[in-house]
Amino acid sequence: MSGIQKQPFLIGGQELRVSARTGVSSYPADGEDIETLLRNAEAALKKAKLSGDKHLFYAPEFNAQIAEKLTLENKLHRALEQEQLVLHYQPKVNLKSGQICGLEALLRWNDPETGLVPPMRFIPLLEETGMILEAGRWALAKAASDSLAWQSKGLRVPRIAVNVSPIQLQKKDFVGMVAQVISGAGNTAVELELEITESLIMQDIEANIQKLRGVQEMSIEVAIDDFGTGYSSLSYIAKLPVNALKIDRAFIINMTSNSDDLSIVSTIISLAHSLNLRVIAEGVETEEQANLLRLLKCDEIQGYLFSPAVPAERIEEFLREKKSLPR
């Protein structure tokens, strides 16, 4: 059987595309009775749906993997209910002034059993199950309320960037969701930015241009994340309603040793400036990288050199002390 069928059926004026996956188990290796054989074929089918394989033959570890995933999924449901998600923040620093000019909100899961879990271990499953809609909405609301709380303590709070998942942006009412969250937070006083990965924006470009415009109309900025790793068309970059480009960490890591990566970084900075966009370098870990980026006229840096992502209380201290990058 094929995956998604290329030729749609036309039924009642609607185009329908049918897709099929197959899970296979065989007698007697995978089971000696019908029930076991069907159950194992089902496990292979589930696995094929997740992996995107057209057909998969059963292997004993499939059941264990599915069980493990189900446990994690249940734990994540509880995590959302019991508010075990937390936001840490990583400062962005202006290279001219050395001052903190932005914060990026990064999701963590405070699992009572294992402690802080990094996003790469649970965001893929949140996305697969659709729970990212709730988690992403929560992150935006939490960032806005943290900003207001700091402001009420008399602190000058920079713009806070929140990451947006493809699953969120694909929703028709994405702009409505954002509007609802920020109006709930008492809005206008809070400066926000949404970070959206490059590969995602290019997928459904016309619809995304409309949505991003809607976001900007609420005075929320838009940054393209992981820039340089996708395949953006230059003619679209100029048309996109965005305010900033974030150069992917992969180019920053090798910039001081690899001349190709150095030219990519330098080209992205020039491109951004010629389009009147701010440019931010991610993953800056050394002074050598920061100095080179300063020479290249990069606007902002973010990375372990200044600070990793830290809990909200620590950010409050940074803002109070006006922590800055030594020059």
Q: What residues line the site for ligand C2E (CB under 6 A)?
A: 90, 106-107, 118-120, 123, 136, 139, 163-165, 195, 225-226, 282-285, 302-304, 308-309
The one of Ca ion, ligand C2E, none whose footprint includes residue 131, by CB under 5 to 8 A per kind, is: none
Min dist CB 290 to ligand C2E, Å, is: 11
Residue 94: count other Cβ atoms within 10 Å of its Cβ: 18
| Tokens encoding 183 | 């109006």
Pairing of strands 300-302, 85-94: antiparallel
Return the amino acid letter for 31.
Answer: G
- Pick from 257, 232, 260: which is nearest to 246 by CA? 232
d(CA 192, CA 118): 23
Residue nearest to Ca ion (CB): 195
Looking at the Cβ atoms of 76 and 164, the one nearer to ligand C2E is: 164
Q: Any idea what DSSP says for residue 325? A: -
Q: Is the Cβ of residue 140 or residue 157 nearer to ligand C2E in the bound state?
A: 140
Size of the site for Ca ion (CB under 5 A): 4
- Tokens 């090798």 -> residue: 254
**In whole angstroms, what is the distance from residue 202 CA to residue 145 CA?**
31
37/284 with CB nearer ligand C2E: 284
C-beta of 172: minimal distance to ligand C2E in Å? 18
| E strand spans, 151-250 | 159-163, 192-197, 221-227, 244-247
Residue whose structure tokens are 């069928």: 5
Q: Tell me whether residue 48 or residue 140 sits nearer to ligand C2E (CB atom).
A: 140
Single residue of 94, 163, 165, 243 touching Ca ion by CB under 5 A? 163
Residue type present at position 204: D
From the CB of 107, what's the least distance to Ca ion, in Å? 10
The 167-206 site mask, x for binding Ca ion (CB under 5 A), equals: ----------------------------x-----------
Contact predicate 106/314, CB 8 Å: no
Restricting to residues 199-238, name those near Ca ion by CB under 5 A. 225-226
Q: Which is nearer to ligand C2E, 44 or 139 (CB)?
A: 139
Structure tokens belonging to residue 162 = 């929140």
Residue 41 vs 103, nearer CB to Ca ion = 103
Binding residues for Ca ion, rule: CB under 5 A, are 163, 195, 225-226
